[in-house]
Structure 1
Amino acid sequence: MKIPRWAIPAAAALTASGLLLTACGQESPRGQQNAAGTQPQAEPSAEAPSAEPSPSPVPEPTTLEVANVTRLGKVVTDGDGRTLYRFDNDTARPPASTCADACAKAWPPVSASEAATRVDGVDQSLVGKIKRPDGTWQVTLGGWPLYRYAKDDGPGDVNGQGVGGTWYAASPTGKKALAKRTDTGDRWKGWTVVKARNDPKLGLILTDGKGRTMYRFDKDTAKPPTTNCFGACKKAWPPVTFTTWKKLKLEGVDRKLVNFIERKDDGTCQLTVNGWPMYYYEKDEQPGDVKGQGVGGVWWATTPTGTRAATTGTGGGYGTGGGY
């Protein structure tokens, strides 16, 4: 077939430009025509820079700050305002943590990052760190390992204060942040205050807000909660009065174990712990006295779970004749 003369310049122009018409009428680079439906593959550039690994993130420093809590004074917090605690079962010299597994789940250790701990209101020289059994590092203050409390919902909460008589918010020096004197006496007038206190001989025992020891009576029953102390017995062992749920103050005692009964003799409400009615002893004259321990072999200082405190004495006074 004779090609029209006018078509030759057009074909030459396409060839010169390096483009050819494909079967589908699309332009394709000369010599790199692709099969229908595929896309041309770009050749890698010899001058393309090689990808460099991104730098490792700089660890954020652990932050220790100081906050003022109404009933405790100055306590140490983290950078988010969460209260930090110390554990009496740990040691500061040498610094060592005894809280692991389930304990560490309830009291998460404050991790020490690779960066230096940032402080605000805390003496930097008191800050250190220890290596935990799992290989992680934990911040210490004054030698005491620091923890958070899982039941603190937010900044300012101190729900861990006094738990088990061994957990306390940390002061800026690493010591225990203890309740001010205004927490006892007239401030709690009309309240039922139950605290766990560590007695040198008996271990953890229950006291009220003024430090008066609470006792249980073996002739009572816990299931159902019943008192059998009336008349002269009641005079020697005054019942611990329960006011209202709105005026119940607990430290180191599980709220689920606390309740009350209505006495048959006068209709007053008497505090119970794990079902056992609670009493004072008239011969206890000072806060911390435990003269009622073991009286008659039936009266005992009470642990935070309602059980008898460790027996160390034989007692006297109203213990004669079986202690009622």
Structure 2
Amino acid sequence: MHIPRWATPAAAVAASGVLLTGCGKVPAGQQANAGVGATQAAPDPARQDPSAEPSPTVTPPVLQAAGVSRLGKVVTDGAGRTLYRFDRDTARPPASTCMDSCAKTWPPVQATQGAVQVDGVDQRLVGKVKRPDGSWQVTLGGWPLYRYAKDESPGEVKGQGVGGAWFAAAPDGKKAAGGQRERQQDGGDDGDDGGRDRWAGWTVVNVRKDPRLGMIVTDGQGRVMYRFDKDRPKVTNCFGQCKKAWPVVKFTNWKKLKVEGVDRSRIGFIERKDDGSCQLTINGWPMYYFAKDEKPGDTKGQGVQNVWWVVSPQGAKITKSAGGSGY
């Protein structure tokens, strides 16, 4: 009897420490969901209490206005380091989308229970927002604020214009004026997806704040992902006309996977039995787009036939209404 390659047992390759599939090598211990059983990594305890208030032991942050020759007035911290805002975030409502490796390159300005000290900045514009990991971040004009790891000295603005998405914050919360640098000269990964061509051929998993649905999963271009109630973990039941209406989110390989705002241990794939292609999974659930979503951020597929749902960063379906219609 012919056994399709998507059903190859794990034991056949277990001795090598990796699982070989059409989607590339799966690192040992990685949740692959490649048509075989996988044990999900234990959840990070640090993410289990998003209601925790900011630590009172952290020194209250400082926002002060400073002049930069080519940009004019910018906002700095108490040490004179330039603070930035990110175009993929939102100000109304405030939401931060820079997580994991992005947050290492762009450390968030941490909020505390104490008042933010200001100098040359309107106190009424200052606030805070809870990040998906439960920590709190300072906002200005609703925009979350960050530092840039490559700014080595006070007054440096190496982060200005990086990826076409990062800009020094002005004292009014808007972008600082002046020249914009589309990307780093060294071509390094600065934790943004500003240039779409940069991630061509990659599988990119991101999150965004939807005003009605909360934090939801998207790809690198902001296209919303969905899961299907008639599927099962690691099993797809969407073929033919269904697949035309709900195109699959392709998984390239582990070397071309970029994840921001979602625990990487939740990411996997299945090898589809209809065409052998690899489909992204989150918590085992196959991911899809909706063909009628015309632009990034559209959620027209939400609630379609009461079986299609957008996905939270934890991989759970979100069942709030967003005005979906049948196909």
Structure with the greater alpha carbon radius of gyration: 1
| Relative contact order higher in (CA < 8 Å, ≥ 6 apart) | 2
